[in-house]
Structure 1
């Protein structure tokens, strides 16, 4: 695989993810699934940096991948590092965006999820990811013949279900919309399955 298109996919995908999270999800305290969702919960409760938390939470998965699936480790480490950096880079502009474009929580949840899904889908097409549940899904496709986007969708709903104990029913509803939009866009960009 050519390196330049992969680098471009990582950077562009990371920008989509950072914009979706910072401009659409955070202002309404909406969650996403996976390591991003857990990092958002930590951000909402303790104001931790989202990108930094993604790196810390993904560490055990990357250690496993390094020990048993080095190909996935090397394919995903750059996606995780660049996306985490972009998320924290865009963080100071989280609330600036909503002052100029008036969105409802519903619209923001759907658009944020779609943007995150596009970012993840772009990366997955070039055999890279942000790590976390994306990496777990890639590893599982070796044993389960299910589209990687569908696997991410399932894991995200499991995480949001657990996170629902910490959030309101309204936030849970908007977070479910975010995950649905993200799962659909990720799946659409990876319709042919594993590349």
Structure 2
């Protein structure tokens, strides 16, 4: 049932992404962020559709993700890419509005909803998300710069290929997409989880079985109940948040969990050597 639920969410996310592109963004020559925007740009100069280009761009990323991240996350993400390509091919490109601002805003919102719900259920739309996760395991440097550079290239290239007004509308799409994903999931790559539980040992074992992260155990006591507990403190990536929630729910549904944004980590955060 868990796999089925995740697949349904991935299918819905792929449909939303395809609708946003073929009905709002592509007809208006406004570009999405990340690899989707790169595929759109390449499709304007190459005789290949956006969906096929998106698929081709994600093949080397999927291979890298398989080797560096793990099979489950990479497979779900690649399934999302394949389904997005499929729906991009079968959904016709239709211009329902000639207002570029409306296309930019609605396209950005729909892209963000599709990507956000996919992230929320433990997968991604591929491309830059997988690259960011790999980089987060190799370095503690801020990853926002990588998103910024790629999106800046998309904006500048769209301005050179079309006109600078289109580039400004692309900026509107990128801003809307970022804000909506923030609301649905999180754009912060690293998160700190503070879990107060009466089953610390069982929960520790379950987390270590599912997620390879260090855990610090701190004594805690209920302020009202006076019950002795422990707080498990761990830093995870945003892509592991769904798995962590599932583990906590299965082992100790009564556990109190606080998730906070983490600006940076120094010390023994697991990296690929």
Return the TM-score normalized by structure 2: 0.61
Pairwise CA distance, 1:153: 5.5
Note if contact 2:77-2:124 (Cα within 8 Å) is conserved in structure 1.
Answer: yes
Secondary structure, in 3 states, of the residue corresponding to 1:130? coil
Gaps of at least 5 residues in structure 2 are 192-237, 242-273
Change (3 A) 1:138 1:126: farther
Pairwise CA distance, 1:137: 2.7
Q: Residues 18-167 of structure 1 correspond to what in structure 2 (within 5 A)?
A: 18-71=18-71, 72-90=73-91, 92=92, 94-95=93-94, 97-98=95-96, 102-142=97-137, 144=140, 154=148, 156-163=150-157, 164-167=159-162
Match of 2:169 among 167, 174, 185: 174
The superposition leaves residues 134-190 of structure 1 with CA deviations (integer Å, 9 ceiling, x where unpaired) of 2223334445597x9x68853552332452443320111111111111111112111
Structure with the larger helix share: 1
Q: How many residues align?
A: 187
Superposed CA RMSD: 2.5
Note if contact 2:68-2:134 (Cα within 8 Å) is conserved in structure 1.
Answer: no
Larger radius of gyration: 2
Match of 1:189 among 179, 184, 189: 184
The superposition leaves residues 102-140 of structure 1 with CA deviations (integer Å, 9 ceiling, x where unpaired) of 351011101101100110001111111121112223334
Change (3 A) 1:182 1:155: farther
Gaps of at least 5 residues in structure 1 are none
Change (3 A) 1:121 1:139: farther
Structure with the larger strand share: 2
The superposition leaves residues 72-113 of structure 1 with CA deviations (integer Å, 9 ceiling, x where unpaired) of 3223111111112112221x2x12x51xxx351011101101
Relative contact order: is structure 1 or structure 2 higher (C-alpha 8 Å, sep ≥ 6)?
1
